[in-house]
Amino acid sequence: MKIKITACFALSACLLLTLATAHAARRAMIDTKVAEPYLGAIVTDADSGQILFEDHSDVTGYPASVLKLMDLLIFLEKIDAGSLRLEDRITISAEVSKIGGSQVWLKENESFTVDELLYAFMVQSANDAAAALAIHTAGSREAFVALMNKRAAELGMKATEFHSIHGLPPEEGQKPDVTTARDISRLARELLQKHPGCLRFTSCRERPFRDGKMIMRNHNGLLWTVPGCDGLKTGYYKKAGYAIAATAARDNNRLIAVILGSASKQSRDKKAAELLSVCFAKMPPKPAPQPAVTNAVEEPPPEAEPAPRAGRAAWLAVSITLLVLLAGAVYWVFFFRPDKSDLVQKH
């Protein structure tokens, strides 16, 4: 009996190994683009675009899941244009349910709102949620990739080429997604400048999914450790190394730090936190921005109190004096007049 069980386990192990080897064989052969502490890095002021630090920022690497920031940009632009709504429901297709990597295990014919799927692909970095949104938006994965590359060109991301909607390692016959730290910084700044509401999704540390049956946890550890950090996105696969586009706000300054191709998660996070700290120290505090007022109705100035007439107080004093004198005279004539007999001299 024990021999049969052992043989069964051995057979299962061989089967799993065979499947894993076959899956790996379907992956494209690409170069490893990893360095210590990073392949490239850059820190910019989100408001002005000023570069505060850069090191090999134009070296080409693989963005991995950081490219989901381009997905998010396109989704938010579609929402602003009215062609996509947060309350729209998306039915999951068979194609979406088979996407691998990080996921929330969407099943065919399940239905979720756009809002739920946006949280899923930004907090959990769910590839299946990204695919569901992309296909719903553009009709197919290929059409959405075309949109991604169009927007990249418009933003001046000259060294960037997208070939996937999720950032997974390329399949056999497919090219890898490529970018630079500088290009990712441009993308992050566009998001923060034009769609600051993106921070609602990127700053979320944990969120329930499927009515609380699953708790999604953000992969960006800087949300817990770096003061003011509220985004944006991390990425990883073996040949891409660890990447991050991080943003934080302090003293009304907002910075963007991008690390590409780091050898370890610890090295990536430590360097991103260090660069943000050093660059914030260079920034003088900014005054708080004035709240935007739209459709404001200009209030008329309050009516001024009428100025007192010249000499009004003097006239009042004279009038009171005259009244007092008149009253005194009346009293004297009618009530205090002396008796004439008192005027006769007595001898």
Interval 231-270: pLDDT, tens = 999 999 999 999 999 999 999 999 999 999 999 999 999 9
pLDDT at 293 over 80: no
**ω before 37 within 30° of 0 (cis)?**
yes
- Residues 195-210 have a mean pLDDT of 97
Backbone angles phi, psi at 196, to 5 degrees: -60, -20
Percent of the chain's residues with pLDDT above 70: 77
pLDDT at residue 12 in the model: 44
pLDDT on residue 14:
44
Question: What pLDDT sits at residue 202?
Answer: 97
Q: What is the mean pLDDT of residues 193-212?
A: 96
Rounded to the nearest 5 degrees, what angle is found at the Cα of 205, between the Cα atoms of 115 and 71? Answer: 45
Can you give the pLDDT at residue 296?
47
Q: Is the pLDDT of residue 19 over 70?
A: no
User: Is residue 343 over pLDDT 60?
Assistant: no
Confidence bin at 318 (pLDDT 50/70/90): low
Q: How confident is the model at residue 16 (pLDDT cuts 50, 70, 90)?
A: very low
The mean of the pLDDT values for the chain is 85
CA distance 335 to 194: 92
pLDDT at residue 290, rounded to an integer: 72
**What is d(CA 87, CA 258) in angstroms, rounded to the nearest whole number?**
32
- For 71-127, how does the pLDDT look when each residue is reduced to its tens digit (9 = 90+)? 999 999 999 999 999 999 999 999 999 998 999 999 999 999 999 999 999 999 999
Residues 138-159: pLDDT tens digits?
Answer: 999 999 999 999 999 999 999 9
pLDDT band for position 8 (50/70/90)?
A: very low
> Each residue of 23-72: pLDDT tens digit?
444 667 999 999 999 999 999 999 999 999 999 999 999 999 999 999 99
- In the structure, what pLDDT confidence band is assigned to residue 13 with cuts at 50, 70 and 90? very low
Pairing of strands 40-45, 51-55: antiparallel
- CA–CA separation, 232 vs 246, rounded Å? 5
Q: Which CATH class is domain 28-282?
A: alpha beta
Q: CA 253 to CA 283: how far, in whole Å?
A: 7
Percentage of residues of the chain with pLDDT beyond 90: 72
Number of H helices, E strands in the chain: 11, 9
Residue 335 pLDDT grade (very low, low, confident, very high; cuts 50, 70, 90) = low
